[in-house]
Amino acid sequence: MRFAAWNLQSGFDARVGRVDLGAVADAVRGLDVDVLAVQEVDRGLPRSGGVDQVAELADRLGWHGVFAPALSGDPLTRWQHPPSADDGGPAYGVGLLARVPLRDVHHRALPGGGPGRRAPGTTGPGWDGEPRVGLRAVPDGGPPVTTTHLSYLPWRAVRQLRVVLRLAGHGVLLGDLNLPPAVLGVALTGSGWTAHETGPTFPAHEPRLQLDHVLTRGVRLHVTAGPPGTSDHRPVLARPA
């Protein structure tokens, strides 16, 4: 089974200056994978046309998809923790897409972040007040797959990573971990998980940092950075070794 992780930047395509899920779907087809983990995906938000982006991509690809909200509301204005039972309202988070059905789906809120609002006219997320989430599922015929998008504050990202590793258990964990390989390697010491260096993945067209990662436990994969596409991140690709 072939895997990829990609921070989609809410489907925004800088080449044309707008959200374009059709272009994202075309790029995903070009990756030639069976399971795709996505980060920075919207549901019902004005900036991306009010659609459920994971459901829309699943429909365009003819795949199966699941979404886990990291926050309810809008990360550009005001947000809060998602309700314990997802109400299907406006949200922002992570997702898994697969050619085959996804079973045994679980998600877990990660430590750090909480309700908040963004000051008018600001673009940065401030002191990273956004909640974060981990999502795990088992694709038919494959190992467990877990995805997340960790804090850009390294100390908080390491704390969140410990929770995600417990959620994952084993298999493949992939996503935007916001940690350089050296820090990630130290954080994984004694965990049984293996990190795979791919070279830089961000920013996509002149990458300088590897923030996007594939971790494995009990699975042998060959991992590489993918080509630049619609997002400000490059995807990472993993195929059987």
> Splitting the chain (241 residues) into consecutive groups of 10 residues, what average pLDDT does each group show?
98 90 97 99 98 99 99 94 92 99 98 85 65 98 99 96 99 98 98 97 96 99 96 98 93
Per domain, the residue ranges of the chain are: 3-240
Cis peptide bond upstream of 203, omega within 30: yes
Q: What is the pLDDT of residue 127?
A: 64
Two tokens at 128?
Answer: 């990273």
Give the global pTM.
0.96
Fold of 3-240: Deoxyribonuclease I; Chain A (3.60.10)
Instruction: Please name which of 2, 72, 11 lies closest in space to residue 35, comparing C-alpha atoms.
Output: 2
Instruction: Please name which of 30, 29, 11, 33 lies closest in space to residue 20, comparing C-alpha atoms.
Output: 11
